[in-house]
């Protein structure tokens, strides 16, 4: 039953990866922006969670209530301040890459200044316990984190499916100019999407804070991994990001077990190369656009 | 009062040169118009400037005498000005019905939305047949039908259609022009941009001849069609009827 154990471990990590990747792919789908600062903002939320835990002993899962709205507001503000002036730039894609790269450096620099470069981690009681279901072993922290992540993904799905704003977001993802034609205020939709993506990054930061130790430059590693996930799923496809995240997390659990933990990160990058060579549009990406 | 006045409008894209060099046109409610002229004359740019996709660098677009400068596309649509661009502007992953419902995005009242949907199915029976098909799998002519049907959802005061016959077989194009005449019969003001100038001018009441970003001539459509000078100067080959047309 070893493989069941590996699939469970993969799904536990995959749930959190899926939530992080959804935020990133949502931004790409709506705005055609690859947010290189996505993982830096995840770390920002992780440090915020750390500060709340150390100073007022707030449980990291409770601090989601603070990090999510805060990051939503930060996302909307950053979008409205920084992006409208790039909208008509003939070098839009290049400019947004530079902009988000710059944002990542700024966040990393600020975190290093405030928290220094050493490893930090949040250690609530459940960070060192495990749940045993018969033969199956689950680290409690990962079980909590993935349960919350799947819950938030369902909320995201419901917002996109059943609200008017969600309909506008989906329409903008499919065809931005058509959305404008039918009366969608795409700037408002972009600002809200940026906010939602950042709120998911906030949630991810709070959850990661008690799953892994972190230091300010850690985000480069994370964002590379997230890019592999969303390229596999197809850029701009939330369904693809979720399925890609789960597949790769399970694959990496198997690689860890069969080859060794040092080889686990290469699962992501190897898949990235293979996808780019064999099926560049990813599993659920649009090959042709209308 | 005129429905829409374009007053000495100058416009262009990004940091690029002026495409419109001071265009002045007047659109009366209930009439239909066709803008003709050589490639690069600024026909599509004029429609985009009116629809709020492009901010005029100078001059003014007025609706019912009120300046609309600085209005976003969604605000222009809410004011009754609907734009149908030339690239098939559908949602490829949505069904025909979902595309039509998106056309009524600004309508809050659900029963009104349903009523409009029925009206569109009545005017475009082919869309009722295809309502659950994904828009991305339709033929070019059917896609154009969806964009026209979608424009009807909002029952605009004025609809601007860019190159409706582009890439369509003459027979299909004729069906599209028939639907456009239908808009006129509903009392909706129609402004066309059409490469096939003969067909376009035959469909409408009034013609605008645009060249190098300014209005060279305007008059009754049949007058323009009959005027050999305009044909030679501005319309060139576009005026030669296509085979079978």
Q: Is residue B66 part of a domain?
A: yes
B73: contact with A, CB 8 A cutoff: yes
d(C-alpha A80, C-alpha B236), whole Å: 47
d(C-alpha B62, C-alpha B3), whole Å: 8
Q: Is residue B28 part of a domain?
A: yes
Residue B237 has pLDDT above 70, yes or no: no
Of A89, A180, A290, the CB nearest to B73: A180
- What pLDDT digit, counting tens, does each position of B82-114 carry? 999 987 689 988 999 999 999 999 999 999 999
For residue B245, the SS3 value is coil
Q: Which residues from B are below 8 Å from A182, CB to CB? A: 77, 102-103, 105-106, 150, 154
Residue B236 has pLDDT above 80, yes or no: no
Go through B22-61 and write b for each residue having 16 or more CB atoms within 10 A of its CB, e for each that does not.
Answer: ebebbbeeebbbbbbbbeebbbbbbbbbbbbbbebeebeb
- What pLDDT digit, counting tens, does each position of A164-221 carry? 999 999 999 999 989 999 999 999 999 999 999 999 999 999 999 999 999 999 999 9
d(C-alpha A148, C-alpha A126), whole Å: 15
- What is the interface size between A and B, counted as CB pairs within 8 Å? 67
Residue A286 has pLDDT above 70, yes or no: no
pLDDT of residue B88: 66
Place of tokens 């040169």: B17
Q: Is residue B6 part of a domain?
A: yes
Neighbours of B67 (CB within 10 A): 12
Q: Is residue B13 part of a domain?
A: yes
Confidence of residue B195 (pLDDT cuts 50, 70, 90): confident
Q: Is residue B221 part of a domain?
A: yes
Of B74, B84, B103, the CB nearest to A180: B74
Q: Are A232 and A248 in contact (CB under 8 A)?
A: yes
Q: Is residue B130 part of a domain?
A: no
B78: contact with A, CB 8 A cutoff: yes
Q: Is residue B194 part of a domain?
A: yes
Best of A183, A190, A240, A281 to mutate (most B CBs within 10 Å, chain B): A183
Non-local CB neighbours of A189 within 8 Å, separated by 6+ positions: A30, A165, A168, A169, A172, A179
Domain total in chain B: 1
CB contact under 8 A, B105 and A182: yes
pLDDT of residue B238: 47
Nearest CA in chain A to B160: A181
Interface of B with A in 89-118 (CB under 8 A): 89-94, 102-103, 105-106
Distances in Å between the Cα of B169 and the Cα atoms of A174, A270, B244 are: 27, 48, 11
CB contact under 8 A, B74 and A187: no
pLDDT of residue B239: 45
pLDDT of residue B198: 87
Neighbours of B176 (CB within 10 A): 20
Residue A290 has pLDDT above 80, yes or no: no
Length of chain A in residues, anyone? 290
Alpha helices in chain B (DSSP H): 43-51, 73-78, 96-103, 110-123, 125-129, 140-153, 170-185, 197-203, 221-226, 228-230
Domain with B19, as residue range(s), is 1-77+189-238
Query: Domain-by-domain residue ranges, chain A?
Result: 2-218
CB contact under 8 A, B93 and A187: no
CB contact under 8 A, A174 and B77: no
CB contact under 8 A, A290 and B136: yes
How far B228 CA lies from chain A's nearest CA (Å)? 37
Share of chain A above pLDDT 90, in %: 78
Nearest CA in chain A to B143: A290
What is the average pLDDT score of chain A?
92
Non-local CB neighbours of A6 within 8 Å, separated by 6+ positions: A250, A253, A254, A257
Q: Is residue B220 part of a domain?
A: yes
What's the CA angle centered on B71, arms B69 and B77, to 5 degrees?
A: 125
CB contact under 8 A, B105 and A168: yes
Decide which of B242 and B157 is more confident: B157
For residue B20, the SS3 value is strand
Residue B243 has pLDDT above 80, yes or no: no
CB contact under 8 A, A175 and B83: no
DSSP assignment of A60-129 equals TTTTHHHHHHHHHHHHHHHHHHHSGGGTT-TTHHHHHHHHHHHHHHHHHHHHHHHH-SS-B----GGGG-
Residue B161 has pLDDT above 60, yes or no: yes
d(C-alpha B22, C-alpha B161), whole Å: 22
pLDDT of residue A287: 54
What's the CA angle centered on B138, arms B134 and B141, to 5 degrees?
A: 145
CB contact under 8 A, A180 and B102: no
Share of chain A above pLDDT 70, in %: 98
The tokens describing A62, both together, are 């409770």
How far B38 CA lies from chain A's nearest CA (Å)? 25
Q: Which residues from B are below 8 Å from A166, CB to CB? A: none
Q: Which residues from A are below 8 Å from B72, CB to CB? A: 185, 187
For residue B16, the SS3 value is coil
A163: contact with B, CB 8 A cutoff: no
pLDDT of residue B245: 40
Non-local CB neighbours of A181 within 8 Å, separated by 6+ positions: B73, B77, B83, B84, B85, B89
Distances in Å between the Cα of A13 and the Cα atoms of A23, A37, A136, A215 are: 16, 21, 15, 19
- What pLDDT digit, counting tens, does each position of B34-86 carry? 999 888 899 999 999 999 999 999 999 999 999 998 899 999 999 999 999 98
Task: Identify the CATH number of the domain in which residue B225 sits.
Answer: 3.40.50.300
How far A176 CA lies from chain B's nearest CA (Å)? 9
* Region B217-244 average pLDDT: 72
CB contact under 8 A, A185 and B77: no
Residue B241 has pLDDT above 70, yes or no: no
CB contact under 8 A, A183 and B14: no
* Region A25-50 average pLDDT: 95
CB contact under 8 A, B154 and A183: yes
Task: Out of A33-42, A227-236, B231-240, pick the least confident.
Answer: B231-240
For residue B116, the SS3 value is helix
* Region A7-26 average pLDDT: 95
Neighbours of B108 (CB within 10 A): 9
How far A167 CA lies from chain B's nearest CA (Å)? 9
pLDDT of residue A288: 42
CB contact under 8 A, A290 and B15: no
CA A207 to chain centre: 11
Confidence of residue B14 (pLDDT cuts 50, 70, 90): confident
d(C-alpha A208, C-alpha B59), whole Å: 55
d(C-alpha A5, C-alpha A1), whole Å: 7
Q: Which residues from A are below 8 Å from B17, CB to CB? A: none
Nearest CA in chain B to A85: B14
Nearest CA in chain B to A92: B14
Question: Which of B73, B63, B61 shows the shortest CA–CA distance to B8?
Answer: B61
pLDDT of residue A252: 92
């Amino acid at each position: 039953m070893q493989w069941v154990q590996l699939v469970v471990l993969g799904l536990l990590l995959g749930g959190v990866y899926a939530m992080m990747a959804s935020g990133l792919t949502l931004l790409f789908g709506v705005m055609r922006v690859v947010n290189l600062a996505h993982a830096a903002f995840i770390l920002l939320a992780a440090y915020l969670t750390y500060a709340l835990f150390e100073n007022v002993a707030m449980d990291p899962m409770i601090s989601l209530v603070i990090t999510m709205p805060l990051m939503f507001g930060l996302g909307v503000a950053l979008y409205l301040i920084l992006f409208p002036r790039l909208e008509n730039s003939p070098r839009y894609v290049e400019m947004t890459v530079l902009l988000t790269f710059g944002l990542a450096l700024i966040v990393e620099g600020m975190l290093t200044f405030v928290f220094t470069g050493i490893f930090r981690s949040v250690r609530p009681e459940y960070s060192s316990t495990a749940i045993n279901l018969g033969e199956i072993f689950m680290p409690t922290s990962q079980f909590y984190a993935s349960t919350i992540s799947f819950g938030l993904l369902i909320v995201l799905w419901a917002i996109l499916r059943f609200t008017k704003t969600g309909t506008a977001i989906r329409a903008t993802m499919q065809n931005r100019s058509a959305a404008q034609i039918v009366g969608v205020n795409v700037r408002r939709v972009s600002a809200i999407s940026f906010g939602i993506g950042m709120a998911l990054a906030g949630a991810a930061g709070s959850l990661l804070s008690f799953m892994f130790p972190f230091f300010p430059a850690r985000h480069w590693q994370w964002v590379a991994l997230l890019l592999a996930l969303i390229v596999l799923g197809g850029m701009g496809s939330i369904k693809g990001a979720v399925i890609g995240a789960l597949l790769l997390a399970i694959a990496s659990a198997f690689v860890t077990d069969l080859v060794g933990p040092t080889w686990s990160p290469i699962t992501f990058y190897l898949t990235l190369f293979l996808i780019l060579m064999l099926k560049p549009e990813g599993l659920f990406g649009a090959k042709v656009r209308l | 009062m005129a429905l829409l006045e374009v007053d000495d409008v100058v416009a262009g894209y990004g940091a690029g040169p002026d495409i419109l060099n001071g265009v002045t046109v007047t659109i009366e409610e209930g009439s239909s118009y066709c803008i003709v002229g050589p490639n690069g004359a600024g026909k599509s740019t004029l429609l985009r400037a009116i629809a709020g996709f492009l901010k005029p660098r100078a001059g003014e677009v007025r609706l019912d005498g009120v300046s609309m400068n600085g209005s976003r596309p969604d605000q222009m649509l809410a004011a009754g000005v609907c734009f149908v661009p030339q690239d098939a502007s559908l949602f490829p992953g949505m069904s025909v019905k979902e595309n039509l419902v998106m056309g009524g995005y600004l309508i809050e009242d659900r029963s009104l939305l349903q009523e409009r949907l029925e009206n569109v199915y009545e005017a475009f029976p082919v869309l009722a047949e295809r309502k659950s098909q994904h828009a991305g799998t339709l033929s070019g002519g059917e896609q154009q039908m969806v964009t026209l049907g979608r424009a009807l959802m909002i029952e605009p005061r004025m609809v601007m259609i860019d190159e409706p016959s582009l890439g369509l077989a003459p027979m299909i194009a004729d069906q599209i022009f028939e639907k456009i005449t239908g808009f006129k019969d509903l009392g909706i003001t129609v402004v066309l941009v059409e490469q096939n100038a003969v067909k376009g001018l035959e469909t409408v009441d009034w013609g605008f001849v645009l060249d190098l970003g300014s209005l060279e001539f305007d008059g009754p459509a049949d007058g323009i069609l009959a005027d050999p000078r305009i044909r030679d100067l501005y319309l060139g080959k576009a005026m030669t009827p296509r085979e079978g047309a």
